[in-house]
């Protein structure tokens, strides 16, 4: 049975608003909550001209877990490049897992400039970031499974590091992948693969085969079925479709290759780069709708591709109305 995730955007909404949304999501029947882990937001201001937000996910996560009862909560996604050491991430995860057993997960990815450059760190090229990420995943698992870990690696060092608190196995680790290298890493080292609104054809022809190649070398996974596959869908629902379009407009910059390759970590500059993204392109990439059938259809599309979980990031003007539509018209169709 397909799982449904809700994305709490600490860039678009305040931490308090995201906590209210998580309660709505659990009441609507969502299975998981994913929260962004960014230092800077992608954009400087929202559609109405008010400021973007920049809440810290690790401060927010325990509040979200405490405000809910059963829903799983984790990062979507954390980049372990320079600003975090893998042991710091493992330490935080272990404490959360001790407080909220079987409800915590880690999404991990190769990061962007907006996480590193503001702290004085240059963003390495993708190849180095991928190697750093793979080494970090292995270290996080070792810290849960072993005692007094020593490690002298290419990027990270441990000297008798020991987690005194937490379970004996790391919470699920989902590896973000928008290309074959990270997809192979997900199949090899991850419990799951997560990708963001990739076309179904590319998923079938490139990402899943790459993940399967990773499974073939994995000591963890026997088949692709052992890798939990998650897709992130960005949407905006409102009875007035134009109102939905306006709310999602700031995210148009994420559709531009130049933004992803940019060294800029200034949300003002990044937002300016996306100022000319057309309404047509927004509608093609995102689910902008006044019809619940469109939300059901996109879910069915990705279930048919082979995803186990569909995560909705809602830029809807009314989050309660979005959750109501999901609870009444979408989730029941997949029970």
Residues annotated as catalytic are 38, 112
- The total number of residues shown for the chain amounts to 335
- Of the candidates 35, 19, 135, the one whose C-alpha atom is nearest the C-alpha of residue 84 is 135
Spatial distance between the Cα atoms of 123 and 125, rounded to a whole number of angstroms:
7
Any residues with CB less than 8 A from the CB of 208 and at least 6 apart, and which?
A: 183, 224, 229, 306
Describe the crossing of helices 180-189 and 126-145 by its angle, rounded to 10 degrees. Answer: 10
- Cα-based distances in Å from 96 to 59, 91, 100, 165: 11, 9, 6, 10
Cite the DSSP H helix spans in 231-325. 241-248, 257-261, 267-273, 279-285, 292-305, 319-325
Any residues with CB less than 8 A from the CB of 41 and at least 6 apart, and which?
A: 10, 11, 12, 52, 53, 54, 114, 267
Q: Is 269 strand, coil or helix? A: helix
- For the chain, first and last CA: distance in Å? 7
Spatial distance between the Cα atoms of 23 and 39, rounded to a whole number of angstroms:
25
Spatial distance between the Cα atoms of 172 and 208, rounded to a whole number of angstroms:
19
Q: What is the DSSP string of 147-216?
A: SSEEEE-SS-EEEEE---SS-SSPPPEEEE-SSHHHHHHHHHH-SEEEEES--HHHIIIIIHHHHHHHHH
**Residue 301's Cα: distance from chain center in Å?**
20
Say if residues 253 and 274 touch (Cβ distance below 8 Å): yes
């Amino acid at each position: 049975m397909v799982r449904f995730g809700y994305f709490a955007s600490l860039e678009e909404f305040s931490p308090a608003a995201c906590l209210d949304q998580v309660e709505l999501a659990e009441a609507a029947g969502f299975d998981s909550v994913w929260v962004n882990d960014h230092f800077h937001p992608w954009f400087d201001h929202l559609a109405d001209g008010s400021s973007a937000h920049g809440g810290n996910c690790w401060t927010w996560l325990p509040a979200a877990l405490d405000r809910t009862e059963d829903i799983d909560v984790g990062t979507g996604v954390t980049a372990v490049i320079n600003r975090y050491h893998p042991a710091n991430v493992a330490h935080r995860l272990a404490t959360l897992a001790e407080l909220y057993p079987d409800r915590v997960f880690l999404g991990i990815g190769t990061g962007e400039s907006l996480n590193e450059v503001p702290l004085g760190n240059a963003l390495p090229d993708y190849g180095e970031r991928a190697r750093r990420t793979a080494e970090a995943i292995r270290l996080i698992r070792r810290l849960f499974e072993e005692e007094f870990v020593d490690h002298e690696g290419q990027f990270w060092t441990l000297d008798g590091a020991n987690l005194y608190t937490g379970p004996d196995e790391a919470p699920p680790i989902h590896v973000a992948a928008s290309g074959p290298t990270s997809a192979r890493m997900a199949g090899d080292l991850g419990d799951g693969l997560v990708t963001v609104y990739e076309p179904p054809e590319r998923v079938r022809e490139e990402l899943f085969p790459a993940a399967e190649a990773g499974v073939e070398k994995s000591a963890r996974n026997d088949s692709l079925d052992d890798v939990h596959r998650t897709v992130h869908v960005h949407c905006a629902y409102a009875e007035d479709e134009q109102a939905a379009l306006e709310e999602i407009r700031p995210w148009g910059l994420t559709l531009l290759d130049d933004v992803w390759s940019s060294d800029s970590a200034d949300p003002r500059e990044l937002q300016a780069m996306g100022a000319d993204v057309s309404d047509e392109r927004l509608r093609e990439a995102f689910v902008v709708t006044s019809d619940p059938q469109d939300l059901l259809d996109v879910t069915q599309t990705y279930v048919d591709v082979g995803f186990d979980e569909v995560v909705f990031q809602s830029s809807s003007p009314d989050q309660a109305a979005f959750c109501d539509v999901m609870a009444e018209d979408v989730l029941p169709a997949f029970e």
